[in-house]
Amino acid sequence: MPLERLQRFNPSVDARRLEVGQRLLLPTQQERAPSGGPYRYQIRPGDTFSGIARHFGTTSGRIQSANPGTTPTSLRVGQVISVPLSGSAAASSAGSSSASSASASPSAAAPSQPLPASARRWPWPLEDYRVVRRFGADSRGTLQPMLLATQAGARAQSVAPGEVRFADGMRQLGEVVIIHHADNLQSVYALCERILVTVGQQVSTGDALCEVGQSDSTQRYDLLFDLRQGGKPIDPRQVLR
């Protein structure tokens, strides 16, 4: 099997850092992965549109639009569907204005300037949650955003009033919503399954933004939550009550 074909079907895998026991998606004879897409993908046991979208860095909405005669709740093993890829320009644009990746670069650090008075005692983005990863540097020194585990059907809520600046899919992050708040603050809600808002929409504190998706690897319902000031990550515990 050509290496390029294998890489296209595993876009989130770093071929230079494979680990023992790591699972790879092996394409079948019926599947195709042309440069730029759309891909021909064969349904496997347990597949959902949201899971396929997260794997290929697109959105479940795009997959649904590309397969108008297919019912997401009635997928059949062996069925072949079309998977359009998400536009890289949209992800790049959102990333340059706020947060476009699950982890900040090692050089990114919390802003040195004090937080504005408006960034105090914000509510948490979920009503029922458990912190499974705190904001902070990992063993490689890379800042990692906060990860919250919740229940099936949970909806992420806006932590403060603001405007929706991004509402789409990102590679490895599933469906993502980014809200811009006063005083150059941004909040990011990722690993969602379904987005409930649109770009340009004004939201209030507590408004539902997206439905939290289920992780294929852990089977948990996790929300990746990030706060930024001027594009630089800050510890949410400084702001949330």
pLDDT in tens, 158-180: 999 999 999 998 877 889 999 99
| Contact in structure between 128 and 154 (CB atoms under 8 Å) | yes
Structure tokens at 101: 């990746």
- pLDDT for 172 equals 78
pLDDT in tens, 53-109: 888 888 888 899 899 888 888 899 999 999 987 653 233 333 333 333 433 333 344
Reply yes or no on whether the pLDDT at 12 is more than 80: no
Stretch 16-25: mean pLDDT: 75
Reply yes or no on whether the pLDDT at 190 is more than 80: yes
Alpha helix (H) residue ranges in the chain: 3-8, 49-56, 60-66, 88-97
Class of domain 88-107+115-238: mainly beta
E-only strand ranges, the chain: 39-42, 80-83, 130-133, 136-137, 143-144, 146-150, 155-157, 162-170, 174-181, 185-195, 202-203, 208-212, 221-229, 232-234
Ranges of each domain in the chain: 3-83, 88-107+115-238
Model confidence pTM above 0.75: no
Q: For the domain bounded by 3-83, which CATH number is listed?
A: 3.10.350.10
State how beta strands 202-203 and 162-170 pair: antiparallel
Q: Report the distance separating Cα 43 and Cα 188, nearest Å.
A: 31
> Whose CA is closest to 240, among 221, 223, 224, 225?
225
Q: Report the distance separating Cα 150 and Cα 157, nearest Å.
A: 13
DSSP string, 184-203: GEEEEEEEEEEE---TT-EE
User: 91: which residues sit within 8 A by CB, 6+ positions away?
Assistant: 57, 100, 168, 170, 171
